[in-house]
């Protein structure tokens, strides 16, 4: 009889808060039992990206609870070991080291952001433990040198270049835009990559490009600069913290042109920051829509809200798919051996998740569609499905 155990997230966080070493509390016997199925979580549970990492961590927790209720994987209960990387790249690398070496997990889910994911990659490569990234959209995150793929790194989200191209095409084809302004956070590779992709596809004129930085809260200067210019859309490649305030200040200044953004807009805090009455004619790329009529999506939404008391967002949905992808791969591999599980993930085809059905390509990226979500009065008013070419 193989040892089984379950240590929930709340217990882990409580132990961490009490200053205990979680691995020791779990027991070295468990850590050395290679028959136990253990999944690691490396997420931003505090710090600037916690609004992304927290729902992701909850979604992985939910997926594992659900699989255990159905009998687990390989006839075993699955254990989830999760730590807070504090939204700091160096800490993300430390968490990955701890999960791979001390906890000896079979696979890791996370981190949330591209920067934290990149910091983790050398650890993953040395340890030979597969990692599935729910939402790290940076184009090169799965590539070692632009040509060689990292053997153990996978993701379930689309790439920045894809969403930049989608938004440029949407602006000119669906909104009839001929002139655009780009307001970008020049402190992140995320924003710079998105701007490059948008600019390379948009056939109209980019009238102006202005920069801001992570953490900025007052955008009146750059908005005053563009207010009287002739343009049809504003593209804001950035995250919800700054985008929410930008939308609020733009609308209050009388700037009413459509605003386009990437998946970094997909958090309810954006509407809280902007105020619902200002979030009109706002469009962003989404991995998922909670308004889907798909039974699997409805079941996921209901289960998540029942468990955590809040509605699941697209980042929760991506993490849920990442966890189930790994669990399916372990079952397919028939073992918890990391190399066998890595091979099973890499050869996954037609995986059916709540963010859609996808296969993984040769560079460990999913081949999947995206949504362009339309926001009116702070709520989703419609969406357009865009498939990859």
- Write the DSSP assignment of 188-239 as a string of letters: -HHHHHHHHHHHHH--SEEEEEEEE-TT----HHHHHHHTTS--SEEE--S-
Please give the torsion angle defined by the CA atoms of residues 134, 185, 51 and 91, in that order, rounded to the nearest 10 degrees.
70
- pLDDT score of 150: 97
**Distance, CA of 18 to CA of 224 (rounded, Å):** 50
Secondary structure letter of residue 151 according to DSSP: T
pTM of whole model > 0.85? no
**Distance, CA of 45 to CA of 116 (rounded, Å):** 13
The domain made up of 38-158+291-368 has a fold known as Rossmann fold (3.40.50)
| Domain residue limits, the chain | 38-158+291-368, 161-286
- pLDDT score of 385: 87
- pLDDT score of 386: 84
Three-state DSSP at 358 gives strand
Tokens in use for 209? Answer: 């490009």
Please list, in sequence order, all residues whose beta carbon lies within 8 angstroms of the beta carbon of residue 271, skipping any fewer than 6 positions away. Answer: 244, 279, 375, 378
Please list, in sequence order, all residues whose beta carbon lies within 8 angstroms of the beta carbon of residue 34, skipping any fewer than 6 positions away. Answer: 104, 336
356-360 and 366-367 beta bridge pairing: antiparallel
Same fold, 38-158+291-368 and 161-286: yes
Place of tokens 């650890």: 123
Own/partner long-range contacts of 89-94 (Cβ < 8 Å, ≥24 apart): 89/115, 89/116, 89/118, 89/119, 90/119, 92/42, 92/116, 92/117, 92/119, 92/120, 93/119, 93/120, 93/122, 93/123
Tokens in use for 380? Answer: 């989703």
How confident is the prediction along the chain (389 residues), in pLDDT tens digits per residue?
332 233 333 334 333 333 333 333 333 333 334 547 999 999 999 998 898 999 999 999 999 999 999 999 999 999 999 999 999 999 999 999 999 999 999 999 999 998 999 999 999 999 999 999 999 988 889 999 878 999 999 999 988 889 999 999 999 999 999 999 999 988 888 888 899 999 999 999 999 999 998 889 999 999 999 999 999 999 999 988 899 999 999 999 999 999 999 998 988 889 999 999 999 999 999 988 888 889 999 999 999 999 999 999 999 999 999 999 999 999 999 999 999 999 999 999 999 999 999 999 999 999 988 899 999 999 999 998 887 76
- pLDDT score of 28: 30
Q: What value does the CA radius of gyration of the chain take, rounded to a whole number of Å? A: 21
**Distance, CA of 55 to CA of 200 (rounded, Å):** 33
- pLDDT score of 67: 97
131-133 and 107-109 beta bridge pairing: parallel
CATH class in words for 161-286: alpha beta
Q: At what angle do helices 314-333 and 50-69 cross, to 10 degrees?
A: 40
**Distance, CA of 354 to CA of 335 (rounded, Å):** 26
- pLDDT score of 5: 31
Task: Count the Cβ atoms, other than its own, within 10 Å of residue 376.
Answer: 13
Q: Look at residues 74, 19, 16 and name the one whose alpha carbon lies nearest to residue 41.
A: 16
- pLDDT score of 387: 77
- pLDDT score of 7: 37
């Amino acid at each position: 009889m193989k040892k089984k155990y379950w240590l929930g997230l709340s217990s882990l966080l409580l132990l961490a808060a009490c200053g205990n070493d979680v691995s020791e509390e779990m027991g070295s016997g468990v850590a050395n039992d290679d028959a136990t199925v253990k999944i690691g979580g490396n997420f931003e549970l505090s710090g600037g990206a916690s609004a992304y990492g927290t729902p992701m961590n909850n979604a992985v927790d939910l997926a594992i609870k659900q699989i255990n209720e159905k009998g687990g994987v390989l006839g075993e209960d699955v254990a989830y070991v999760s730590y807070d990387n504090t939204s700091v790249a160096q800490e993300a690398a430390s968490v990955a080291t701890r999960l791979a070496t001390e906890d000896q997990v079979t696979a890791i889910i996370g981190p949330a952001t591209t920067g934290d994911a990149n910091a983790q990659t050398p650890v993953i490569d040395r340890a030979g433990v597969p990692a599935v990234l729910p939402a790290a959209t940076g184009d090169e995150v799965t590539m070692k040198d632009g040509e060689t793929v990292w053997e153990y790194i996978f993701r379930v989200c689309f790439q920045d270049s894809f969403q930049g191209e989608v938004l440029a095409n949407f602006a000119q084809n669906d909104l009839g835009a001929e002139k655009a302004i780009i307001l970008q956070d020049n402190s992140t590779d995320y924003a710079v990559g998105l701007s490059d992709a948008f600019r390379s596809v948009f056939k109209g004129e980019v009238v102006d490009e202005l920069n801001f930085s992570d953490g900025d809260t007052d955008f009146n200067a750059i908005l005053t600069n563009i207010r009287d210019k002739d343009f049809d859309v504003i593209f804001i490649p950035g995250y919800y913290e700054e985008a929410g305030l930008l939308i609020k200040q733009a609308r209050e200044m009388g700037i009413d042109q459509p605003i386009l953004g990437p998946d970094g807009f997909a958090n309810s805090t954006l509407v809280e920051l902007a105020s619902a009455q200002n979030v009109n004619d706002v469009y962003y790329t989404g991995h998922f829509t909670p308004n889907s009529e798909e039974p699997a999506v409805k079941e996921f939404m209901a289960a998540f809200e029942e468990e955590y008391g809040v509605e699941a967002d697209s980042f929760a949905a991506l993490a849920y798919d990442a966890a189930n992808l790994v669990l399916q791969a372990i079952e397919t591999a028939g073992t918890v051996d990391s190399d066998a599980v890595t091979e099973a993930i890499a050869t996954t085809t037609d995986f059916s998740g709540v963010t859609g059905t996808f296969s993984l390509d040769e560079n460990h990226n999913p081949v999947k569609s995206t949504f362009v979500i339309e926001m009116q009065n702070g709520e989703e008013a419609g969406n357009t499905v865009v498939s990859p070419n």
